[in-house]
Amino acid sequence: MSNEQQDKPVKISLEKIKSQDKIEVTPINPLQLVEENEQQEAAQIVFKEQTKGGIKRLFWPAFSTLVIGAATFQTYQFIQELFLTNAMLGMAGIVVAGAALVSGGVALFNGWRARRRLANRQSAQQEFKRILQQDSYGKAGHSLQELTQEISEYVEISVLEKKYQSAKQQVHNDHELIQIYSNSVLAGLDKMALDIISKHASEAAVMVALSPLAIADMALVAWRSSKMIQELSRLYGCPQTAFGRIDMTKQVFKNMMLAGASELVAEAGVEMLGKTLTASVSTKVAQGIGIGVLISRMGIQTMSLCRPIEFTEQNKPRLSHLRKAIYNKVVGIVKNTDRDKNEERVKSPIIDDITQND
């Protein structure tokens, strides 16, 4: 067997090597090792892809071709008409149409890239999960380096990166390497992410608590959560555009519904505590806190969607930390405004009337 020969021990004196110059000795570069070990096939049970009916499949391509074709045709006719009226007007029409085409194309392209980035991130997540289950050596270094580059395009992480570099050793296997990366670089990002979530959630909570209109509440939630998702996805190195964000929001909600049931049970107790406390302040404040919690949950789901290495039981972010921050902020602000109102009440009796009418 050819394999057996490879297994025989070899001992070489370094001096001898230098004199002979035949044997090449290099320090280990983990990047070279990647493809050397063949990949183990993980047993996976997946649904086979369902084939859709022929006619049904035709709908979207046909529909979009129709719309785009009609629009192109209309634009062409429109510009032609403009040219008939005045050449200058026609030129202006071409410029405007061109600008719309280019900017729209760029936006579409960016959206497509953002979606691809998200899809890549998901597959990276799967890849790391697979490596974590194996006992391999030398496979993860390459992927982790790529990941660092990806993230550092958007976030300055040299401090975290340094921490990772000083903690890792040549002898660490893939499992350990990924853990160290998760505990150094990603843990730093997680901290920042939680700050972002708590900022947005508490802001939204305060706004809802203070806003008088239900329809405004809804707009607020949509606006703040979209903004938060944008910031979070950027932080983890896969920023989403407006189009991509819709896709992401969809996934976030899906995950929330799936994971929601079990989480809800665990969190219900604390939530109830929050409610009984806040109910005594006002129902509006309670609503605000409810919204804050909702946005925090969305934030946490976004985190686990964007984080390249899945959370473990130990480092999973918990809602309870965020809830406290939200509660303190909302109650603090509402109390302050109450006090302000009371002070104003002394000054002008008219405002007093208005608040009573509320």
Partner 1 sequence: MSEKDWFKESYYTAKQLVERGLDKHVRIAVTGLSCSGKTAFITSFINQLLFAADNDRLPFFDMSKQQRIVGAKIQAYPDLHIPEFRYSAAIEYLTASEPQWPPSTSSIAQSQIKIRYKVSNRWYKKAKEFSSLTVDIVDYPGEWLLDLPLLRMSFKQWSTQCTECLGRGSRKELAQDWLDSQNKTQLSEMYDEQSVSEIAQSYRAFLQRCKQSKANISLIQPGRFILPGELAGAPVLDFFPVVDESILAQDWSSFEAESTVRVLEKRFNYYRDKVVKPFFYEYFSKVDRQILLVDCLSVLNSGYESYRDMQFTLSQLLQSFNYGQSNWVKRLFNPSIDKLMIAATKSDHVPPEQHRNLEAFMQNMLQQARNDIRYEGIKMESMAISSINVTQPVMAEHDGKKLMCVQGVEQSTKETIINFPGKIPQQPPTKQQWSDLEFDFVNFAPSNLSPGALPHIRMDKVLHFLLGDKFL
Which tokens in the block code for residue 182? Answer: 């998760």
Compose the 169-198 pattern: x for residues touching partner 1 by CB under 8 A, - for all others.
xxxxx--x--xx--xx--------------
Examine residue 255 and tell whether it contacts partner 1 (CB under 8 A): no
Contact assessment for residue 196 and residue 306, using Cβ atoms and an 8 Å cutoff: no
Question: Whole-number minimum distance, CB 156 to partner 1, in Å?
Answer: 20
Examine residue 54 and tell whether it contacts partner 1 (CB under 8 A): no
72 C-beta neighbours (distance < 10 Å), count? 12
Q: 35: buried, middle or exposed (CB in 10 Å: 19+, 13-18, 0-12)?
A: exposed
Query: Measured between alpha carbons, how far is 178 from 309 in angstroms, rounded to an integer?
Result: 8
Contact assessment for residue 121 and residue 308, using Cβ atoms and an 8 Å cutoff: yes
Examine residue 315 and tell whether it contacts partner 1 (CB under 8 A): no
Name which of 168 and 284 has its Cβ closer to partner 1. Answer: 168
Examine residue 163 and tell whether it contacts partner 1 (CB under 8 A): yes
Query: Measured between alpha carbons, how far is 48 from 304 in angstroms, rounded to an integer?
Result: 26
What letter does residue 138 receive in the DSSP assignment? S
Contact assessment for residue 326 and residue 292, using Cβ atoms and an 8 Å cutoff: yes
Examine residue 159 and tell whether it contacts partner 1 (CB under 8 A): no
Examine residue 9 and tell whether it contacts partner 1 (CB under 8 A): yes
> Measured between alpha carbons, how far is residue 228 from residues 206, 295, 325, 332 in Å?
16, 9, 17, 23
Span near partner 1 by CB under 8 A; candidates 144-152, 167-175, 229-237, 283-291: 167-175
DSSP-based three-state secondary structure for 318: coil
DSSP characters for 51-95?
Answer: PPPHHHHTHHHHHHHHHHHHHHHHHHHHHHHHHHH-HHHHHHHHH
Question: Whole-number minimum distance, CB 324 to partner 1, in Å?
Answer: 13
What letter does residue 33 receive in the DSSP assignment? G
Span near partner 1 by CB under 8 A; candidates 15-23, 67-75, 150-158, 284-292: 15-23
Query: Looking at 19, 20, 21, 27, which residue binds partner 1 (CB under 8 A)?
Result: 27
Examine residue 284 and tell whether it contacts partner 1 (CB under 8 A): no
> Interior CA angle at 104 toward 99 and 105, to 5°?
100
Name which of 10 and 55 has its Cβ closer to partner 1. Answer: 10
Compose the 116-145 pattern: x for residues touching partner 1 by CB under 8 A, - for all others.
-------------------x-xx-------
Question: Whole-number minimum distance, CB 315 to partner 1, in Å?
Answer: 11
Compose the 330-349 pattern: x for residues touching partner 1 by CB under 8 A, - for all others.
--------------------
Name which of 176 and 310 has its Cβ closer to partner 1. Answer: 176
Residue 109, amino acid: F
Question: Whole-number minimum distance, CB 307 to partner 1, in Å?
Answer: 19
Of the CA atoms within 13 Å of residue 34, those in its CB half-sphere come to 9
Name which of 3 and 51 has its Cβ closer to partner 1. Answer: 3
Give the residues lining the site for partner 1 (CB under 8 A): 4-15, 17, 23-29, 32, 36, 135, 137-138, 163, 166-173, 176, 179-180, 183-184
